[in-house]
Amino acid sequence: MGGIGFIIPIVVALFALATAIIKVLREYERGVIFTLGRVGRKAAGPGLVLLVPVIQQMRKVDMRTLVHDVPTQDVISQDNVSVKVNAVIYYRVVDAVRAVVQVENYMAATSQLAQTTLRSVLGKHDLDEMLQERDKLNKDIQEILDQQTEAWGIKVSNVEIKHVDVDPSMIRAIAKQAEAERERRAKVILAEGEQQAAAKLAEAAVILATSPGAMELRYLSALQEIANDKTNTIVFPFSMEQVAKAIRSDN
């Protein structure tokens, strides 16, 4: 019994030592190794990694694409409309050493940066642009985030604005504004149509005034249109000039 009691602590100590020395990293993991506080140029892994106890420590970094929901942000658009906007960002670590050394917590830092960038970019646009040009806004936000997180070894691959929620009172005001705009456009179109019709009538009047033959043809065409309706009583108007011609021909 005394011999077994002596062996068990040795086995436990050897197991703990082996655990401290031998590390296994999965395919999507990298290890940032610190040797007496100094970090190497490249991360270790994947696979088997051997560490010197006490002298070396390792921090694991997940290299897979991470999905992060940006909390709902209150945004004032350029046309002074208050909206609530939320989004989702997709990013991954491309340099494990920089992600550990350059920033305390790259996940929290990326999240905070995404929130401020979302408010900053959307605040420069009107509500109509937020609703109709999401692809462009997504790209603008992604490019800004990617540029600013590059120093942390982070690659932002995509940003998607999920919801743009407008206050109900603002929705009613926007609906009234849209209705007024539709009425304005309808009146403009009607006025333009009347202007074009008046111009065409003026052109026709000039042609008829300078061409007696055209006037006669228009006169006969009008008579034909009237004759098609058998319920009408047709009175043939004659000018004094036509009457004079008829009298002269009889004499």
Residues 6+ apart with CB under 8 A from 208: 214, 215, 218
Same domain, 99 and 147: yes
Query: Measuring CA to CA, which residue among 119, 117, 114 is closest to residue 66?
Result: 114
Cα–Cα distance, 105 to 58 (Å, whole number): 16
Cα–Cα distance, 223 to 59 (Å, whole number): 100
Domain boundary among 62, 80, 110: 62
Is pLDDT above 80 for 245? Answer: no
Same domain, 232 and 202: yes
Query: Whole-model pTM?
Result: 0.64
Per-residue pLDDT averaged across 77-96, rounded?
A: 91
The domain containing residue 81 runs over which residues? 66-166
Highest mean pLDDT among 19-28, 102-111, 173-182: 102-111
Tell me the per-residue pLDDT of 114-130, one tens digit each, with 9 for 90 and over: 999 999 999 999 888 88
Is pLDDT above 70 for 231? Answer: no
Domain boundary among 166, 198, 219: 166
Tell me the per-residue pLDDT of 207-229, one tens digit each, with 9 for 90 and over: 666 766 666 666 666 666 666 66
To the nearest 10 degrees (0 to 180), the angle between helices 134-149 and 106-122 is 140
Which pairs with CB-CB distance under 8 Å and at least 24 residues apart come from 95-98?
95/153, 96/30, 96/31, 96/32, 96/43, 96/61, 96/63, 96/153, 97/32, 97/39, 97/40, 97/41, 97/42, 97/43, 97/153, 98/151, 98/152, 98/153
Stated as kind and residue range, the H or E segment containing 241 is helix 240-250
- Structural domains of the chain, count: 3
pLDDT at 182: 80
Same domain, 86 and 143: yes
Same domain, 115 and 157: yes
Record the tokens describing residue 75, joined without a space. Answer: 């945004």
Same domain, 162 and 81: yes
Same domain, 79 and 136: yes
Tell me the per-residue pLDDT of 27-80, one tens digit each, with 9 for 90 and over: 999 999 999 989 988 899 899 999 888 899 999 999 999 999 999 999 888 888
Same domain, 188 and 232: yes
Same domain, 86 and 159: yes
Could you tell me the CATH number of the domain that includes residue 162?
Answer: 3.30.479.30
Is pLDDT above 60 for 239? Answer: no
Same domain, 129 and 177: no
Domain boundary among 166, 190, 213: 166
Residues 6+ apart with CB under 8 A from 85: 72, 73, 75, 118, 122, 130, 161, 163, 164, 165
pLDDT at 20: 76
